[in-house]
A and B are shown apart, each in its own frame.
Chain A
Amino acid sequence: MANTLSLYRTVKRLGIPDDRIILMLADDMACNARNKYPAQVFNNENHRLNLYGDNVEVDYRGYEVTVENFLRVLTGRHETAVPRSKRLLSDEGSHILLYMTGHGGDEFLKFQDSEELQSHDLADAVKQMKQKRRFKELLIMVDTCQAATLFSQLHSPGVLAIGSSMKGENSYSHHLDSDVGVSVVDRFTFYTLAFFERLNMYNNASLSSLFNSYNPSLLMSTAYYRTDLYKRPLDKVPVTDFFGSVMETIHTDSAYRGFSVKGTDKAEIKAPLNLKASQAERRALSAYHQDQISDFNKEVCSFHCIWSTLHKTVVEKIEDADTFVNYGLVVIIPLVAASTWLWR
């Protein structure tokens, strides 16, 4: 549970909001009668961080964490009464991070000590998701024993998967907290968190640097990842594509338009192709094209043409529209009064 909660906090720190996170926890630790620190979960023996403090939104807890619910969340086939917060509301442009941890083995993952999620079930669910266009890219991260076998059956494009250990290997916990009496975090998750602790939201660390940071001797297992289904090269994919929520911002000079302008005014926006471009190149250009007026003059002048040239020459020269309109409104009253008085 500490694994999941630590990664949950990391992902939230990097910008993903709660309504985009579905957290499924067996949730039997924090308020367990044998927990010496009730309602507190730590991931380090120095007890620096209480992972179960406020600001944790668990969507599925306890008996709701079943293989059936998990597959329903993935494929989106819910009963009608299930609220939106418990649904995975993704579309064909979404990047999804799926992190699973617990006890596992050869081609399976244990749920609640009573059920198993098999690798072909997972592969089928992902295939359904792809057919229903529920994701653009999916990163599966598994931290169990023999984790790599869990995604051995996947065959949908756009899926990237990494597991903490290969077939026949166990994944080990990092250290034991003698105060609480159990091991508090697993090695793979620990080194993942360590990587992200060094990262802030605007670093451009790529997935290949994350995957290369796993040292087999430190992990005591081989972190295996499969990239055959994933088209983009790993060193070009920023980690914040999956673990955070960083949007590409393009700076423009003109104000936001709430509707589409037909015809006369065109704005040019240069989008930077290379993320590592300098600040100067990231500025976009937008300009009013005044040479459109000359095109207009060549047409036969109808009333509309006259009105639009009048519009262009007079109206657009006025920079500060609001004060002009206010003056115009204020002038109305004396104008009406004067005309009325003079008329009598």
Chain B
Amino acid sequence: MEKTRWFWVWVITSLFFRLVLIYFPENLNLGFRPEVATPLTSLRRLAEGYWLKQSSMSPYAGSMYHGSPMLLSILGPLTVKRIEGQPSHLMCSLLFVVADLVTAMLIRATGQTLQLAYSQSLRSLNLVSLLESSETLSAGDIAALVYLWNPLTIITCVGSSTSPIENLLIVLSLYGACLRIAPLAAFGWVLAMHLSLYPVILIIPVILLLGYGPDAPPRKLFLQKNSSENGNSPSCHGNYPCNEVTSQEKLPLHPFLWRPVMHFMLWASFWLFYVFVLCSISLKQHGGLLEMLKRTHGFILTMEDLSPNIGVLWYFFAEVFDFFRDFFLIVFHINILFMILPLAIRLKHRPCFLAFVYIAISSMLKSYPSVGDSALYLGILGLFINELAEMKFSFFLFCGYIGVSLLSPVMHNLWIWRGTGNANFYFATAIAYACLQIILVVESVGAMLNHDRMLRKNSTVKL
């Protein structure tokens, strides 16, 4: 009780802190920083696109706005609405604060589900002593608080960027998949993919979550348990019947259920159709669906805007020859895609962690990264705090993130505003940031696999 009370106190304080910061937007000037607002997520560009739409021109004219027309209909009127004496974009910022709160609550609920599943699977493996020996923290609460109090999240929320909505949709799809609610997972996935292209790779963890259930130790352990003992009670969720395991059969404890996956596919196609119909109606005079796909997803894939950001692609594409441009675009995008399959094979028993790794990789290698993406995966990282307790280099990464967050705006200022630096200064911080993310991904995957090995060692010892 004490813990939950403190939890809610911290949540309310973080919301209050955001509201305080919203009232100083001119001082902070965050909407103009390249780390916060990319060509895809900038709220100023959305306001421009909304104005173009209201002047009965295509919102994509002039290559300013590159987002979804649905976002234009929701956020557009809010950017225009001005209340006397209040800062501009107040309504939008309030909406983003609400989105952050909902995301944090969803992360907490996901964490609670994961923790429940984890303790159940440990109990079924007779590793309960592990539960009691080590101090397990409530991962959901900690992850929610990490998400809310992460300075990067606060900057994204206050800094007129539409990333909080994308983060909300991704977390919504993960939550729906963990609780095996197919329509919710499908809705979150379809909309997240619609807004920015990269969550499409999350279909694999979502399908694995729907089929296998939340994160669990590797199936080999359960097979060994089955072979050594007679019968175990499986853990089941939702309204899907689970198979009973008899002592003679060697069925895995968590069989892959196809029915939720089929439902997910149906709901996903329904939501996709709905979104496409709405978008084509919205843009019927300005080129329709093809124009929208060309200007949003085509813009992401062809990397037309080379303004500097915290990623590593802009520097390269500023100097590549046109002859090789398509080739290198394919290389960079396959760089994300080719890691999907090996990771899926290795981490298929832990789909939520797989989703975290995918999000981290895509936010590192995407065309227009921003700190909003790292806010998301740092929040989800908090969900695995029990398993990743033994992660190496955690202090180095923490200091590295702080260092890069401080140095990157300084280098940008030196380059653009003072003229005493050049692009290499800024790109150096971008490279350092990418290195930190790589170390984070590699070390976290290593720590998770070490944890699985430790579980296996303990369960075989028990035998």
Residues of A within 8 A of B (CB): 255-259, 261, 311, 315-316, 318, 321-322, 324-326, 328-329, 332, 336, 339-340, 343-344
Contacts and interface: CB of A to CB of B under 8 A. Distances in A.
Interface in B255-280: 267, 274, 277-278, 280
Contacts of B58: 257-259
A321 B282 contact: yes
Contacts of B56: 255-256
A316 B285 CA distance: 9
Contact of A258 (B57, B70, B238): B57
A336 B184 contact: yes
Interface string B281-292: 110111110010
A315 B277 CA distance: 9
Contact of B278 (A258, A311, A328): A328
Given A329-B74, A336-B187, A259 B284 contact: no
B380 to A, nearest CB: 21
A335 to B, nearest CB: 9
A259 B70 contact: no
B278 A325 contact: yes
B57 A315 contact: no
A337 to B, nearest CB: 9
A343 B181 contact: yes
A255 B285 contact: yes
Given A259-B58, A259-B291, A329-B74, A322 B282 contact: yes
Interface string B279-322: 01110111110010000000000000000000000000000000
B286 A259 contact: yes
Contacts of A316: 284
A4 B344 CA distance: 80
Interface in B141-195: 176, 181-184, 187
Nearest to A343: B181
A340 B184 contact: yes
Given A258-B61, A325-B70, A318 B181 contact: no
Given A259-B61, A340-B183, A322 B73 contact: yes
A259 B182 contact: no
21 contacts: A255-B56, A257-B58, A258-B52, A258-B57, A258-B58, A258-B61, A259-B58, A261-B287, A311-B288, A315-B281, A315-B284, A318-B281, A325-B281, A326-B73, A329-B278, A332-B274, A336-B183, A339-B267, A343-B183, A344-B238, A344-B239
Given A321-B285, A340-B181, A343-B239, 17 more contacts: A256-B57, A258-B52, A261-B287, A311-B280, A311-B284, A321-B284, A322-B73, A324-B281, A325-B70, A325-B73, A325-B278, A328-B281, A339-B183, A339-B267, A340-B176, A343-B183, A344-B238
B73 A339 contact: no
Contacts of A325: 69-70, 73, 278, 281-282
Interface of B: 52, 56-58, 61, 69-70, 73-74, 176, 181-184, 187, 238-239, 267, 274, 277-278, 280-282, 284-288, 291
The A interface is mostly helix, strand or loop, or mixed, namely helix
B155 to A, nearest CB: 28
Nearest to B278: A328
Contacts of A324: 281
A36 B187 CA distance: 81
A325 B286 CA distance: 15
Contacts of A343: 181-184, 239
Contacts of B52: 258
Contacts of B70: 325, 329
Nearest to A339: B183
A14 B267 CA distance: 64
Contacts of B285: 255, 257, 321
A302 B74 CA distance: 35
A237 B448 CA distance: 83
B181 A344 contact: yes
A33 to B, nearest CB: 46
A236 B288 CA distance: 45
Nearest to A254: B285
B318 to A, nearest CB: 25
A317 to B, nearest CB: 11
Contacts of A336: 183-184, 187
B181 A321 contact: no
A322 B76 CA distance: 12
B420 to A, nearest CB: 25
Contacts of B291: 259
Contacts of B278: 325, 328-329
A336 B271 CA distance: 10
A11 to B, nearest CB: 31
A157 to B, nearest CB: 39
B83 to A, nearest CB: 21
A210 B287 CA distance: 49
Contacts of B176: 340
A336 B183 CA distance: 7
Contact of B73 (A258, A329, A340): A329
B394 to A, nearest CB: 36
A252 to B, nearest CB: 13
A16 to B, nearest CB: 27
B184 A339 contact: yes
A258 B286 CA distance: 7
A321 B53 CA distance: 12
A142 B287 CA distance: 53
Contacts of B74: 329
A296 to B, nearest CB: 15
Nearest to B179: A344
A257 B288 CA distance: 13
Contacts of B286: 257-259
Top 10 closest pairs, chain A to chain B, by CB: A339-B183, A258-B61, A258-B58, A255-B56, A325-B282, A258-B57, A328-B278, A340-B184, A343-B181, A336-B187
Contacts of B69: 325
A94 to B, nearest CB: 26
Nearest to A325: B282
A23 to B, nearest CB: 34
Contacts of A315: 280-281, 284
A324 B274 CA distance: 13
Contacts of B239: 343-344
Contacts of B280: 311, 315
Contacts of A322: 73, 282
Nearest to B267: A339
Contacts of A329: 70, 73-74, 278
